[in-house]
Structure 1
Amino acid sequence: MSADIDDDEIIAAARIGFLDEAQEMLAQFETALLVMEVNPNDAENLNAAFRAAHTIKGSAGLFGFDAVVAFTHEAETLLEALRSGELAVDERVTALLLQSRDQIERLLAEVRTGTQDPALADTSRTLGAELRALRETGAPTPEAPISAVERAVQNAPDGVFHLSLRFGADALRNGLDPLAFIRYLDTVGEVQAMHMLTELVPPLAQLDPETCHIGVEIRLHSQAGKGAIEDVFAFCLDDCELAILPPDATPADYAALLAQRAPSPDAHTDLLALWAGMGVQLPLRQDAAAPAEATASAPAGDEAAPPAALAQIERRAHPADAASADRRENEADRRGATKDRRSAGGGEEARFIRVRADKLDRLIDLIGELVIASSGAQLVAETEQSPRFTEAALRIHDLVQEARDGALGLRMVPIGETFSRFNRVVRDVCKQLGKEVELQITGGDTELDKSMVETIADPLMHLVRNSLDHGIETADERVAAGKPSQGHLALHAYHESGSIVIEVRDDGRGLNRARILAKAVERELVAPEAVLDDESICQLIFAPGFSTAAAVTNLSGRGVGMDVVKRNIEALRGQIRISSVEGAGTTMQIRLPLTLAIIDGFLTSVGGVSYVMPLELVAECIEVPAECRQLDGEGGEPRVAGHFDLRGEVLPFVDLSRFYRHTPAASGRRSLVVVHDGSSRVGLVVDRLHGEHQTVIKPLGQVFQNIRGLAGTTILGSGEVALILDVPALLNLATERPAHGMRRLPSRQAG
């Protein structure tokens, strides 16, 4: 029973690996198709599309996912027609292949969920018929005509191929299923005869169940070329010896193969008899097929020349076949070299490993608990005043910090993969809207937390679609405005001040502030007499249900989405800002923290409560300026917020004690911490400074979600809870100037 369970677990893990790899292949497939649409003559790109489709089909065949195999085969066959020059690349071809790519993704999703949808099967049949019809009715490429010799090479004659296959001893250990490859031959032809070489299997007492002893001789009737048959075994070439003789193979070809497969006279006699029983008709005498050692003295012109001599003649007559024979002869050496590279750590397999995301999250959680425990050990060391204990605690602290940085680095991924998805989005939306837009992607290697990459994808999608629909004009409108007919949309990412900044920038019509303000007044979001600055007007588009679109389209216009965009970004402790010039374009700037797990913090206290702010945002600490100590109004209470002069620069400040309604601290020296967020700075007045502190971010409870200025909590080494400040929110609080007549919802504050 345990063995069955282990097998089930192995198969389940392999299925997950296949589905992950298939998604990567789909991304490559889509990228190649988009390039094909722009540059149809790029042969290498066409080969890349074919390889991606073939990899998906081959891997799906190993697991018996017949629906994926059958449909992908149709797309692969169309790609093969493009490669051979039988069909030209045009808009019909790329559009249908992109639809096929989406269908493959849906079929893979069906595999992942284990469900079967009859409607999806009907779509596969419909699209498959369209692919076949396009192959049959498509016009040939107008390129230079293919010579008869080239066409003969590309299209092997209809007939029977002979396959001689020997799997290596480690094939099973390396996760290969020999039977799956043999079954897969049905996709390229019909197996007429097959014989398993049982003499290769040792006696039962000596049989190792993990060692492969499989050898097969196969007669395959196929109209496919030799290359297509070789591709069936592309995934196991490192673990097998494969020889393919085409229908027009000469006796010399069979003699060479016989010498390779039959090292002794008895063996070659048995193999000859086997071939004869499978229908191989050879005009060879038995001595002509004998090993080279038995006939080495035969004259060079004798028809009974040894296979070695026949092979030399064939090499001179057919250099391409000679190269193939040489490749087969060096197969064992190549496999050995490959294994050596793997063991030496030089191959891709040795440098990358797939890890389940939940295991990585669990590791991050454990590192976080270790950080808290290390802080507790340091606190005890300081209390005990033991030099040796303190030194050991500091050493542990340094190691924990290295482990923390290493663990967080494992979860950092480039944002380029997310950006690359928008090539297809821009292409499809532009086709739908009849616009011409060029997408430019920069900073794709910028890294951020994987969990944030997944969450930010939907807000970015909405911003991109909005730019294409509302921002960028049609070609006629752009020409009339003195712009190039083709619009420009840019996605840009970069690191700044401990944050990652993502920009969505277009050169469209920009935001019409007068229209936005009029719509806000109409919806009673703003009083008619309100006076707002440009930033406040732009921020109105994030109000729920707000839209200035004259008509509702399939893409946008209902006012649903921009408020969700802002809410999702703020849930990541980020913020979104807008910069727009009417008639010149709009830039949406998203600023996010690098990670949501563990940060370097700066610990302070206010009214007996500990507050932490991200260390990377702390610019300097100074004594509280006189302006911040001035009383507010006749009540004689300190001001909650205001401005102060910092070396000639006027900056806003927030008194955290007054803002969070703490009991005023006893008379003593207070401090002002200057924090920054990009180009903006603000001063935070606190009671005490405690210095750097490794901070494990814990989410706020549901009850405290609406408290302004807080991003989460953390646990100190003493076991006390500290609050993590949301610096961007505090900066907005300090700099916002409620305009006359502006209607705001009352904010909830901590009591």
Structure 2
Amino acid sequence: MSMNDDDAEILAVARAGFLDEAQEMLRQFEQGLLVLEEDPSDSESLNAAFRAAHTIKGTAGMFGCDAVVSFTHEAETLLEALRSGSRQLDEDVVAALLESRDQIELLLGEVQSGEEDPGVKASSEALAARLRALLGATAAAAHAPAATAPSQAPATGALGEPEDGGGDGCWHLSLRFGHEALRNGLDPLAFLRYLATLGETRALRCQTEAIPNLDELDAEACYLGFELRFDSKAKREDIERVFEFALEDSDVQIFEPGTAPAAFEELATRRCGEDPKARAALFQCWHEMGMRFKVRLEVAAVTAAETEAETPQAIPHIERRVGPAEEGKTQKRSDRRSGEGERREGGRDRRAGDETRFVRVRADKLDKLIDLIGELVIAGSGAQMMAHQEASPLLVEATQRVMDLVQETRDGTLALRMVPIGETFGRFQRVVRDVSKQLGKEVDLVVTGGDTELDKSMVDSIADPLMHLVRNSMDHGLETQEGRIAAGKPPMGRLALNAYHDAGAVVIEVSDDGRGLARERILAKAVERGLIAEGQVLPDHEVWQLIFHAGFSTAEQVTDLSGRGVGMDVVKRNIEALRGSIALSSEVGRGTLTQIRLPLTLAMIDGFLTMVGGVNYVLPLSAVAECIDVPAECAAQNERISGTFDLRGEVLPWLDLARFYGISPDTSRRRSVVVVRDGQTRVGLIVDRLMGEHQTVIKPLSAIFQHLKALAGSTILGSGDVALLLDVSGLLNAAIRNGQQIRQTGTAAFAHAVLKS
């Protein structure tokens, strides 16, 4: 691979990292604004939003994303006006800034795709004009990015000499980039381009004195430095933030207009040491840039002739006295941006700590690693089986140790993909805010259990179903303020998101304190659509499940949010595709609770291996409650598929898996009942043999097997045989609903017991 290819790959990786980080910054930006809307006095949230916008603008400038930089600057300027108190926060400002967040996301999308949309450009210009209008003419002038007005009168120095500090009202920046800057992905010119968004560069000199001879030159090292005069009305911290990403690999000195000459003498000493030639060259550079202050040159190390020949006559000689107080101020100002100052050292420590704690890994590489761990689990099971067949205690012990290590490796690898679901919950604060304003309702969003961890792939997949449930609750569930007051409720509705672990699964709940589900209306709609017979009596559980039929809706009016009967069937289908289940419970006038139950991961599980009719079946170990002999009442009905039995005073339903799947049971040996649970429901599954625990690597079923009932996938055993993974919730649903296959008299009792339990 050529050097250019290497550079392109490094740049592509850095660009992808920028886009990922920008999404996190947008989340912080939005979160800060939402908190501010509730509490305008929260200065920390305002600062967090400002920092997020500034970080996006700064990093976008480094990658040449001019459209992002230009628009984000408008939002940043309005935020700065809020911070300074020149503009007060109101509803219009919050709305415009939130729309700015969405616009920045669109602009970042253009960066990612590499394609520009004229519509996005037009909306950026319109929204930027709106931001400037909200800022007001006075504030806009105070925070303009570039100084277009004439320069101020020359600033005077501390002792009143009009020539001190350059006399042109400009900032002076002295930049030296470290040798590793280019290798670490820094582009010195990118910082200069970004600096131009804050003002005008009046003079610029590139310092090349550090460039070695050609035979000593490292093509990947950086030897550049810059001296520049910068005319800007920006604050010092704004200019400092331009270079905050380069603190590790550069030495940045920033001098305000009117800085005393002593500070420049000290800078010359830092840059040149006691080399009078280098000092003279640096002062000559400053003089050519238009700086007219006079400084004392130390020429003890060279002869007068050398000094006269190499030091320009335009730099006169003058003695300058600096008082103790001024000297202390100068030292602090220099230390603030020097390589030895506390600020830089603190920044370096923080960055080093972050690098030791976090490593960015591509998702496809992690998926490949998990696949390899899965194959290792299968191979380890085969080796363990062979060791038992050889009946060698030493070999059995060795393989057991290997399997223990494989299991720890498996758990550790899967943990790499586990992320808190709170990040997904956080997205809904903006949704609730926007939808509540659209509907004219006051809604209080309560989020709990945000630290509950779930597989990253499942977190991404569950976002859309949750979005639909949240919007449904706000549109159909929660009443208007007038309706709530009339019902004796608080005017503000309550919408809650909750997550917790339960029996090896993750349960996500969406609840509201609204009007609840209208049972009679649902039944009437179901009869109208022919889903049930008129007069048919159904328990609440089955009534609520009618909502998940395609096209089912009881809404009297179609709105922009819902009412077309599109969505709930998709929600259920998407959740079941994740091997999960969804259940509803509701009470008229009290609200509705939606529970989504998901497995922790889709890759590997601890399973319980059984055999039915010569076929291996695996149950999730977390769903197995206990194993017992087949009760007498089950054995007496050996021709039935299902029925009920008494388990220590509790009536439980049972299902014969062999007859359910249409295969002949093995009656030559004692059969067993595996009691499994799905949420609060328990059922006994009759199997032929119990094979024990088994680490299960889940393989998806081919499309030709998708029609099979209640199967969540397959796995490969150590012997090479295929085992089928049972879906417990799907098994119960199929057993209850499929009346064509279950005609025995025990079916009604079975279904009743399932629903009752």
Fold-level match, TM-score > 0.5? yes
Corresponding position: 1:324 with 2:333: yes
State the match for 2:648 in structure 1.
647
State the match for 1:184 in structure 2.
194
Corresponding position: 1:353 with 2:359: yes
Whether the 8 Å CA contact 1:68–1:107 is kept in 2: the answer is: yes
Q: Hey, what's the Cα distance between the residues in 1 that align with 2:552 and 2:690?
A: 44
The counterpart of 1:558, out of the listed 542, 560, 564, is 564
Deviations 1:181-230 (A, max 9, x none): 11211101111111111112111122222332221100111122222211
The counterpart of 1:281, out of the listed 277, 280, 292, is 292
Corresponding position: 1:28 with 2:28: yes
Letter in 1 for 2:228: I
- TM alignment of 1:335-374, pairs within 5 A: 347-374=353-380
State the match for 1:314 in structure 2.
326
TM-aligned CA deviation for residue 655 of structure 1: 0.3
TM-aligned CA deviation for residue 440 of structure 1: 0.7
TM-aligned CA deviation for residue 324 of structure 1: 2.6
TM-aligned CA deviation for residue 283 of structure 1: 3.7
CA distance 1:16–1:341, change in 2 (3 Å) = closer
Q: Secondary structure at the match of 1:331?
A: coil
TM-aligned CA deviation for residue 620 of structure 1: 0.8
Letter in 1 for 2:571: V
CA distance 1:158–1:353, change in 2 (3 Å) = farther
State the match for 1:167 in structure 2.
177
Q: Hey, what's the Cα distance between the residues in 2 that align with 1:677 and 1:180?
A: 58
Q: Secondary structure at the match of 1:116?
A: coil
Deviations 1:512-563 (A, max 9, x none): 1011111111111111120011111111111110101010000000000000
Corresponding position: 1:221 with 2:221: no
Q: Hey, what's the Cα distance between the residues in 2 that align with 1:113 and 1:139?
A: 35
- TM alignment of 1:608-647, pairs within 5 A: 608-631=614-637, 638-647=639-648
Q: Hey, what's the Cα distance between the residues in 1 that align with 2:496 and 2:215?
A: 68
CA distance 1:475–1:158, change in 2 (3 Å) = farther
Letter in 1 for 2:334: A
Q: Hey, what's the Cα distance between the residues in 2 that align with 1:74 and 1:381?
A: 70
Deviations 1:386-416 (A, max 9, x none): 2232222212211111111111111111101
Please report the RMSD computed on the Cα atoms of aligned residues, expressed in angstroms.
2.4
Q: Hey, what's the Cα distance between the residues in 2 that align with 1:121 and 1:158?
A: 38
State the match for 2:255 in structure 1.
245
Q: Hey, what's the Cα distance between the residues in 1 that align with 2:323 and 2:264?
A: 10
Whether the 8 Å CA contact 2:210–2:224 is kept in 1: the answer is: yes
Q: Hey, what's the Cα distance between the residues in 1 that align with 2:172 and 2:655?
A: 83
Q: Hey, what's the Cα distance between the residues in 2 that align with 1:331 and 1:78?
A: 35
Q: Secondary structure at the match of 2:652?
A: strand
Bigger Cα displacement from structure 2, 465-474 vs 281-290? 281-290
TM-aligned CA deviation for residue 703 of structure 1: 2.0
CA distance 1:273–1:639, change in 2 (3 Å) = same
Deviations 1:285-316 (A, max 9, x none): 5469999xxxxxxxxxxx9667xx73743145
State the match for 2:213 in structure 1.
203
Whether the 8 Å CA contact 2:251–2:339 is kept in 1: the answer is: no
- TM alignment of 1:132-151, pairs within 5 A: 132-136=132-136
Q: Hey, what's the Cα distance between the residues in 1 that align with 2:41 and 2:547?
A: 45
Deviations 1:95-139 (A, max 9, x none): 001111000001111111111111111111111111112112599
TM-aligned CA deviation for residue 46 of structure 1: 0.9
Q: Hey, what's the Cα distance between the residues in 1 that align with 2:137 and 2:634?
A: 80
State the match for 1:149 in structure 2.
none
Q: Hey, what's the Cα distance between the residues in 2 that align with 1:315 and 1:76?
A: 36
Whether the 8 Å CA contact 1:252–1:311 is kept in 2: the answer is: no
- TM alignment of 1:428-439, pairs within 5 A: 428-439=434-445
Corresponding position: 1:715 with 2:726: no
CA distance 1:681–1:163, change in 2 (3 Å) = same
Q: Could you list the runs of 5+ residues in structure 1 that have no partner in the other structure?
A: 141-151, 292-302, 632-636, 740-751
CA distance 1:738–1:441, change in 2 (3 Å) = farther
Whether the 8 Å CA contact 1:158–1:223 is kept in 2: the answer is: no
Bigger Cα displacement from structure 2, 711-720 vs 266-275? 266-275
TM-aligned CA deviation for residue 159 of structure 1: 3.4
CA distance 1:290–1:159, change in 2 (3 Å) = farther
Q: Hey, what's the Cα distance between the residues in 1 that align with 2:14 and 2:524?
A: 58
Deviations 1:679-729 (A, max 9, x none): 221100000011011111111121222322211111111111111111112
CA distance 1:219–1:626, change in 2 (3 Å) = same
Letter in 2 for 1:326: D
Whether the 8 Å CA contact 1:493–1:500 is kept in 2: the answer is: yes
Deviations 1:27-48 (A, max 9, x none): 1111011111111121121111
TM-aligned CA deviation for residue 338 of structure 1: 6.3
Whether the 8 Å CA contact 2:610–2:617 is kept in 1: the answer is: yes
Whether the 8 Å CA contact 2:205–2:227 is kept in 1: the answer is: yes
State the match for 2:280 in structure 1.
269
TM-aligned CA deviation for residue 668 of structure 1: 2.2
State the match for 1:495 in structure 2.
501
Bigger Cα displacement from structure 2, 168-177 vs 515-524? 168-177
Whether the 8 Å CA contact 1:256–1:311 is kept in 2: the answer is: no
CA distance 1:503–1:158, change in 2 (3 Å) = farther
State, as a whole percentage, how many aligned pairs show the same letter: 62
State the match for 1:299 in structure 2.
none
Whether the 8 Å CA contact 1:652–1:734 is kept in 2: the answer is: no
Q: Hey, what's the Cα distance between the residues in 2 that align with 1:139 and 1:169?
A: 41
Q: Secondary structure at the match of 1:187?
A: coil
Deviations 1:570-603 (A, max 9, x none): 1111111111110010000000111111111111
Q: Secondary structure at the match of 1:638?
A: coil
Corresponding position: 1:124 with 2:124: yes
Q: Hey, what's the Cα distance between the residues in 1 that align with 2:400 and 2:437?
A: 61
Corresponding position: 1:530 with 2:541: no
Whether the 8 Å CA contact 2:100–2:127 is kept in 1: the answer is: yes
Q: Hey, what's the Cα distance between the residues in 1 that align with 2:53 and 2:116?
A: 22
TM-aligned CA deviation for residue 160 of structure 1: 1.4
CA distance 1:313–1:252, change in 2 (3 Å) = farther
Q: Hey, what's the Cα distance between the residues in 1 that align with 2:620 and 2:364?
A: 26
CA distance 1:85–1:341, change in 2 (3 Å) = closer
Whether the 8 Å CA contact 1:242–1:328 is kept in 2: the answer is: yes
Letter in 2 for 1:513: R
Q: Secondary structure at the match of 2:709?
A: coil
Letter in 1 for 2:190: A
State the match for 1:401 in structure 2.
407
State the match for 1:296 in structure 2.
none
Whether the 8 Å CA contact 1:621–1:672 is kept in 2: the answer is: yes
Q: Hey, what's the Cα distance between the residues in 2 that align with 1:430 and 1:543?
A: 27
- TM alignment of 1:577-596, pairs within 5 A: 577-596=583-602
Q: Hey, what's the Cα distance between the residues in 1 that align with 2:119 and 2:712?
A: 46
CA distance 1:448–1:329, change in 2 (3 Å) = closer
Q: Secondary structure at the match of 1:440?
A: strand
TM-aligned CA deviation for residue 168 of structure 1: 2.1
TM-aligned CA deviation for residue 627 of structure 1: 1.3
CA distance 1:736–1:4, change in 2 (3 Å) = same
Whether the 8 Å CA contact 1:37–1:94 is kept in 2: the answer is: yes
Whether the 8 Å CA contact 2:665–2:688 is kept in 1: the answer is: no
Letter in 2 for 1:454: D
Whether the 8 Å CA contact 1:372–1:696 is kept in 2: the answer is: yes
TM-score by length of 1: 0.89
TM-aligned CA deviation for residue 259 of structure 1: 3.2
TM-aligned CA deviation for residue 236 of structure 1: 0.9
Q: Hey, what's the Cα distance between the residues in 2 that align with 1:322 and 1:562?
A: 67
State the match for 2:747 in structure 1.
none
CA distance 1:532–1:255, change in 2 (3 Å) = same
